[in-house]
Structure 1
Amino acid sequence: MNYHCAIIGGGPAGLNAALVLGRARKDVVLFDDSQPRNGVTHASHGFITRDGVTPAEFRRIAYEEVLKYPSVRHWNTLVTDIQRNDHGFALRTSSGELVQADKVILAAGLKEVFPEIEGVAEFYGKSLFNCPFCDGWELRGQPLVVVSETPGIFHKVKLLLNWSSDLVVCTNGHDILTDEQRAQLASKGIAVVDTPITAFSGENGLLERVHFVDGSQLERSGGFIDPALLPKADFHEALGYETAPDGGIATDAMGRTTVSGIYAAGDSAYVMPSQLIYAAASGSKAAVAVIADMTEEEWK
């Protein structure tokens, strides 16, 4: 079957794009392997009418709403290749199917790569988080650790002062802060530890201590850690779209990439902050762009 639009990724960006396209009576196929990046967290926040919803419940409600439109189809599989042809784009799935679509929205998002510290997986999403806007409220007033290997840690610490003044910065052995930044942090009573971290410890996903390579320990009840973010699905070589300096897919304000017929939304386009509400909005805009472009093409 030939679809008007294929959507790669079933997060808030892809789901909202499918909703808008379905309501516009477009034939849509949504590819989603049911492995959302936020699946490890206990709840999602900052989305009006859904504040505190679990990722699983958010997806259940979203699919219930999206799939009531008869022109929207969901395939629980991965897309492994996309090639342009005379009729638009041919998409091949991990299960061997070949699907044809006029337009493609890339919304597979990002995957997280964490520093090699023992215990990260145990605590991430329970007492260690990435986004202050998503989970700062739950850790308000607590003694927190902020772990990062990138210069962006300075800005994150300034943000986190909105939720807690008891902060310790850990660079995990990386020289990422300037002397001026260190002085500013010290003036706010924020200590910086450059010693590499060996492990996090605690019980039932609740952080209690940070352990360092020199044998020292730091008592903390939660914190924030910066993973490296990489595209979950990368079709740059096959399609030739431009990427932005931050590594995301370069788009215009409506999600159009530099390749005609290819759009990007959500974390795939590094829409920041990385929150549900931002991702959903970008998915809606990309869908509107698809409809607008198809309308002009059909008119001509």
Structure 2
Amino acid sequence: MDFDVIIIGGSYAGLSAALALGRAKRNILIVDAGKPCNRQTPHAHNFLTHDGDAPAKISAAAKAEVLKYPTVKFIDGTVNAANKTAEGFSVMINESLSYSARKLLVATGLKDVFPNIKGFAECWGITVIHCPYCHGYEVSGEKIALLMNGDIAFEMAKNLNHWNKDLTLLTNGKSHLTAEQTEKLKSKSIEIIETEIKEIAHANGKLTNVIFADGTKLNLKAIYAKADVEQHVDFHDQLGFELTEFKTIKVDGQQQTTVKGVYAAGDCTTLMRSLSVITAAGTMAAVMMNKEMISEDF
């Protein structure tokens, strides 16, 4: 067996797990492709001692801390395949390197799938944002919009009204709000625009205005939106663990997937994509994997 644990994904959850496992003197391999979902985001928030730091700065410092432990190794690359074996698990890296491990931790994050709106992807994480707890303070009191529809739009508009009174709901087509929801939003001076969006105009990710299909424009500071998500790699098919209805990996309170010996942590397991939450999940996974190996060897 080459390693005690192979960690697929070396961002916050993976590095957090590696730190705990390195301190437990476990032989660890981290494999990371270097494409975190927040790579466009200029500042991270709600993470103690790092509020306002660039995500890349935080992860670089974390990686340096983790690699001080001699039993932790790091490979820049992609895990192309992961399989269960009689002794544990095997992974193929960069289509040429094969390693084995007793346990696997999947910490690959989620892939954001953007709507077909010009400028959306370029603004994502900068001025097209998803979470008021991550970004709300910086755009509070500004003229903003919410790009959603139906029940989820109503609930999000209700939340955003705490930070922003100048709020417009963009349904990008016919509204799916109920009559009661529509009346409630209007009573809070939240305008609802059903016109389809042609483009999000911007300068290097800094939103200037929304251009609608009829040629009209709306000047805004930011847009809250929800991207669809999917797993980066089909490890659930290869290893046999289950996904939830939200396309995240199904785990229990100890970060164990539905396949024994395979743990998961971070964005790939939750839509609560906060650095503090996913970092804590990585630590929990590490402790539980180490405990399992201690029990197996005792």
**Smaller-chain TM-score bracket:** over 0.9
- In structure 1, distance between residues paired with 2:95 and 2:238: 19
Query: Matched residue of 1:37: which SS?
Result: coil
- Which of 202-211 and 63-72 deviates more? 202-211
Amino acid at match of 2:216: S
Q: Output aligned runs, 1:65-76, within 5 Å.
A: 65-76=65-76
Deviations 1:128-149 (A, max 9, x none): 2112111111111000011125
- In structure 1, distance between residues paired with 2:72 and 2:153: 41
Normalising by the residue count of structure 1, what TM-score does the alignment of the two structures yield?
0.95
Q: Output aligned runs, 1:1-300, within 5 Å.
A: 2-148=2-148, 151-173=151-173, 175-270=175-270, 272-299=271-298
**Conserved in 2, the CA contact under 8 Å of 1:254 and 1:289?**
yes
- In structure 1, distance between residues paired with 2:225 and 2:72: 37
Shift of the 149–234 alpha-carbon distance from structure 1 to 2, 3 Å rule, reads farther
Measured after TM superposition, the shift of residue 266 of structure 1 is 0.8
- In structure 1, distance between residues paired with 2:140 and 2:247: 32
Query: Matched residue of 1:111: which SS?
Result: strand
Measured after TM superposition, the shift of residue 251 of structure 1 is 0.8
Measured after TM superposition, the shift of residue 234 of structure 1 is 2.2
Measured after TM superposition, the shift of residue 201 of structure 1 is 1.5
* Corresponding residue pairs, total: 298
**Conserved in 1, the CA contact under 8 Å of 2:149 and 2:177?**
no
- In structure 2, distance between residues paired with 1:150 and 1:235: 32
Measured after TM superposition, the shift of residue 204 of structure 1 is 4.3
Shift of the 176–66 alpha-carbon distance from structure 1 to 2, 3 Å rule, reads farther
Cα RMSD, aligned residues only: 1.4
Normalising by the residue count of structure 2, what TM-score does the alignment of the two structures yield?
0.96
Query: Matched residue of 2:38: which SS?
Result: helix
**Conserved in 1, the CA contact under 8 Å of 2:80 and 2:95?**
no
Measured after TM superposition, the shift of residue 174 of structure 1 is 5.3
Shift of the 20–154 alpha-carbon distance from structure 1 to 2, 3 Å rule, reads same
Amino acid at match of 2:258: T
Deviations 1:199-223 (A, max 9, x none): 1124343222111112222121212
Deviations 1:19-61 (A, max 9, x none): 0111000011011111110010111110000101101111110
**Conserved in 2, the CA contact under 8 Å of 1:144 and 1:166?**
yes
Shift of the 103–53 alpha-carbon distance from structure 1 to 2, 3 Å rule, reads same
- In structure 2, distance between residues paired with 1:239 and 1:125: 32
Measured after TM superposition, the shift of residue 246 of structure 1 is 1.4
Q: Identity, % of aligned pairs?
A: 37
